[in-house]
Amino acid sequence: MISLLPLPRCWWALLLALAILPVSGTAIQWNSALFGTTDADSNGTPLNDSWSFYLGAFVNAPGGWSPGPSNTHEWHAYWVTADVSGYFPPGVTAGRFSSRHEVSGLIPIFSQGFIWGTNRACPNGEWILMTNPSLWYWPQQNDLDPTTSFWEVDGDTVAIVGAVQQGGFQMQTAAVLNSLPPLLSGENWREIHFTPSEIQDEEATVSGWMADPNRNGRSNLLEFAYNTDPRVAQFVNQPAGGMMEVEGNKHLTLTVAKDPNVAIIYTGEVGSDLQTWFSDSGNVVLESAAPKELVFRDLTPVGSGLPCHVLRVRVSLP
């Protein structure tokens, strides 16, 4: 016969609370449905591979704050990305995103989890933000617990912006104005564009920052900085040379297109022999900085009697 000691009433409440918490684990498998689904933007256009989906949470937000359609301009400040997936357009299977994230201590446990879809190629912004209020809570990191949490877009998923399972679509995004999408890190970008095996085994020729898989003369680092596709040999967003008059003197300028939400550093440099370059404040200045455009200016006037200058931009990771 086994004897059970009586527990205080508060302990029964604690056991009940623990019983209804989502299962903790060391990984999150997150994805949209596999079969019989159609996804579209706010105009009904099917999603394509310019879409990215982010797994994460809003951290360190003020008390009582939660993401909503009226405060999209604040999301960027509190969002923490844990994982990212590209979107795979319809082919053999339905269009979908899918990834597996090994949990770290990046996001506090029991934080409400979200999936944020964005299209950086859309000038005005198309987003969808989804969660499951009952199940998507950040699991606890525990190396002895092999349990995987499954976060799938289904009938229990709630769309904060956009819509889920409405109008014949599994997911439909919404137009969002004057708001910033999640900051895209270099490693996030590589995860979107390259497979795990390419990142691990083919860094030198395919996925490395100095590699040029589409052979257009632009390294992956430049593709990342200028928001272009490393798989497609395109020549868009090229830096443009120009001239500016300052106090009666003409100066070389270089206008550079940029994605305002990528983790990249742009540095203007000038030189006269294509070997030695100068980026100090005595030689080159950032003349203007708009969210999607930078203009660098050579401080040496054209026709000053000094050797002719060349102006270029160098990009680097933080």
Residues 163-178 pLDDT 10s: 999 988 999 999 998 8
The residue ranking higher by pLDDT, 37 or 221, is 221
Residues 244, 178 within the same domain: no
Q: Which amino acid belongs to residue 136?
A: W
Instruction: Give residue 211's pLDDT band: very low, low, confident or very high (50, 70, 90).
Output: very high
Instruction: Give residue 241's pLDDT band: very low, low, confident or very high (50, 70, 90).
Output: very high
The residue ranking higher by pLDDT, 90 or 191, is 191
Residues 14, 147 within the same domain: yes
Residues 63, 140 within the same domain: yes
Residues 137, 273 within the same domain: no
What percent of the chain has pLDDT above 90? 55
Specify if 92 maps to a domain: yes
Q: Give the pairing type, strands 265-271 and 284-290.
A: unpaired
Residues 114, 23 within the same domain: yes
| Cα angle 21-26-32, degrees, rounded to a multiple of 5 | 80
| Last-in-domain residue among 182, 206, 231 | 182
Prediction pTM value: 0.76
Specify if 36 maps to a domain: yes
Instruction: Give residue 23's pLDDT band: very low, low, confident or very high (50, 70, 90).
Output: very low
Residues 54, 142 within the same domain: yes
Residues 169, 273 within the same domain: no
Specify if 154 maps to a domain: yes
Strand partners, 241: 254
Specify if 230 maps to a domain: no
Residues 38, 142 within the same domain: yes
Considering its fold, how many domains does the chain have in total?
Answer: 2
> How far is Cα 84 from Cα 155, in angstroms, rounded to an integer?
22
Specify if 229 maps to a domain: no
- The mean pLDDT of the chain is 85
Specify if 2 maps to a domain: no
Specify if 212 maps to a domain: no
Specify if 235 maps to a domain: no
CATH of the domain at 267: 2.60.40
Residues 114, 250 within the same domain: no
208 pLDDT more than 60? yes
Domain range enclosing 76: 9-182
| Last-in-domain residue among 132, 157, 182 | 182
Residues 105-155 pLDDT 10s: 889 989 999 999 998 777 568 999 999 999 999 987 765 556 788 999 999
Longest dimension (CA), the chain: 103
Torsion of CA 41, 95, 151, 176, to 10 degrees: -10
| Last-in-domain residue among 165, 182, 199 | 182
- Residues near 182 by beta carbon (within 8 Å), at least 6 away in sequence: 54, 56, 76, 79, 81, 116, 118, 261
Can you tell me which residue has the tokens 């879409």? 51
- Say which DSSP state 260 is in: T
Average pLDDT over residues 235-252: 89
